[in-house]
Chain A
Amino acid sequence: MSASGGGPEFSAATSVLCLLFIALVPLAVAGLALMNTGLGRLRSASHSMMSSLCVFSVAVLVYFVWGQSLQGFAGEPARVAMIAGKDWSWLGRGSLFLRHLPLAGSPASLAALLGMVSVGIVALIPLGSGADRWKLFAACLSTVLLGGIAFPIFAHWAWGGGWLSQLGANCSMGQGFVDAGGSGAIAVVGGISALSIAWILGPRQGKFTLDGLPAAIPGHNAIFVLFGCILALAGWWGLNSAGSLLYAGVPLGRIVLVILNTTLAAAAAAITAAVITSVRFGRPDASLTANGWTGGLVASSAGCAFVAPLAAVAIGIIAGILVALSVEWIELHLSIDDPGGAVSAFTLAGIWGLLSVAIFARVPATAAGAADMAPAHPGQWLAQIVGIATLIGFVFPLVYGSNWLLNRFVSQRVAPEGERQGLDLYELGAGAYPETVTHGDEFSRGG
């Protein structure tokens, strides 16, 4: 695991492979877009895919204009504060439009490329929770805040040589905050935004009865959802592999372990969710199994390069249990309408992934490297807790506050008529399936 200090040095072969891994990441974007669309209603399907494309584009552009300059990269210039005799890097100090980066295959330029597609994933996560009621224009504005402020700041702290990654060197907390593939920087940041959006928008019409009981509004296309899972796996292989090389400084040879762990965690989580739903409902539930799969991918990310394959299975099983049970609990007890299950699959599974590093990670005990692995330093627990506390105590108020403020100026929720009609017709003027009859509110009970 790398802590603070300079960034990694790459051979030409490592740079090429890292580039190939980054090229896989857009598959995760495609997978999430399909999952969000499939879990939403038929009459908003085209709007969902259109929103995915638009928020991805906005996020990429914002990251290009100023996001990357805030994120920076380990070893690059940064804003540093000296407190009690120690240097703490708190923000990147790059130029706008990536002008400070020589785009010639250096690790810093590869990290900028990975950051650009990562911010696209972050932007897509809240679309799942705001499905069927979030205006396209408002979603794009919210993405500017998420991709231009919240994500790059936390990404600098965790990945760009910032103060979270310096906890090992400055406070003897193990290796510092470890989040190789983005359980925190991508999934929890996106999941926190999903929670904020679900709260600000409120539930869909007819989702809750007058006495607060939730009504089932099933997703319209399980094929999209399950195919999206497979695409997301390929994307997460790239995300975890490139993140491990660039942000955790693992050697190229350990990428086999990264891909193996990612796959095992997702598989274990999906099977666990399928078994749990079989036991509870008498048959496996496709959408909860897909959420479990996503939760496994998310939980695998933080420690993908530092845990044994058996530990990855355990991480996946716990993620599967967590997601399968929490989706219903959040809806029933917290009255949060989250059609995509993003709060469970990203926020909760991401936090679990961050904690799992402290429990399961094994780090090189000596300079000999991977052949001589030992359990992580006890201080690793504290580093991971500080990271999680930062996500809950800083990123959540920032994201919730900025979206609340945005909602005061631009109403983020579509008008009741638009929700009844479907966002496809109301905002885009045409449905995704023009030859199919769009049903009314047959699932609604109270609206």
Chain B
Amino acid sequence: MKLLGILLLLAGWVIVLTAITLLPSAIASAAFVWAGFAVEVLGLVLVIRAHLLSLGGLR
């Protein structure tokens, strides 16, 4: 799950990069930047969940 979270973080950043470099429309670009940011937040939540689960396993 942690690896998936890290991959989602990277995927979100790639969406952000793609939006600013390839989308000519300001509105579309802004929408995809926010979408990429949302994917990153999802990735961060997964990484945190994985950390908590691993701590629970250790206990």
Contact = CB atoms under 8 A, between A and B. Distances in A.
Interface of A: 83-84, 86, 88, 167, 170-173, 199, 202-203, 208, 210-212, 334-336, 379, 382, 385-386, 388-390, 392-394, 396-397, 400-401
Q: Which of B33, B36, B43, B52 has the most CB of A within 10 A?
A: B33
Given A83-B21, A393-B36, A397-B6, A386 B16 contact: yes
B10 A393 contact: yes
A389 B51 contact: no
Contact of A400 (B6, B22, B26, B34): B6
A203 B56 CA distance: 12
Chain B: interface size category:
20 to 34
Closest 5 CB pairs of A and B: A393-B13, A83-B21, A393-B40, A389-B16, A393-B9
B26 A172 contact: yes
Contact of A392 (B22, B33, B40): B40
A37 to B, nearest CB: 27
Contact of A84 (B10, B22, B30, B55): B22
Given A392-B40, A401-B6, A386 B33 contact: yes
A66 B43 CA distance: 32
Contacts of B48: 334
26 contacts: A84-B21, A86-B21, A167-B20, A171-B20, A199-B51, A202-B58, A211-B59, A334-B48, A334-B51, A385-B33, A385-B34, A385-B37, A386-B20, A389-B13, A389-B36, A390-B13, A390-B16, A392-B9, A392-B12, A392-B13, A393-B10, A393-B12, A393-B16, A393-B43, A397-B9, A400-B6
B50 to A, nearest CB: 10
Contacts of B36: 389, 393
A170 B30 CA distance: 14
Contacts of A388: 37
Interface of B: 6, 9-10, 12-14, 16, 20-22, 24, 26, 29-30, 33-34, 36-37, 40, 43-44, 48, 51-52, 55-56, 58-59
Contacts of A173: 20
Nearest to A401: B6
A202 B29 CA distance: 39
B29 A171 contact: yes
Contacts of A172: 26
Contacts of B58: 202
Given A210-B59, A397-B9, A335 B52 contact: yes
Given A83-B22, A390-B16, A392-B40, A382 B33 contact: yes
Given A389-B37, A397-B10, A334 B52 contact: yes
A390 B33 CA distance: 11
Task: Identify which of A84, A336, A390, A397 gathers the most chain B CB atoms within 10 Å of its CB.
Answer: A397
Nearest to B16: A389
Nearest to B19: A386
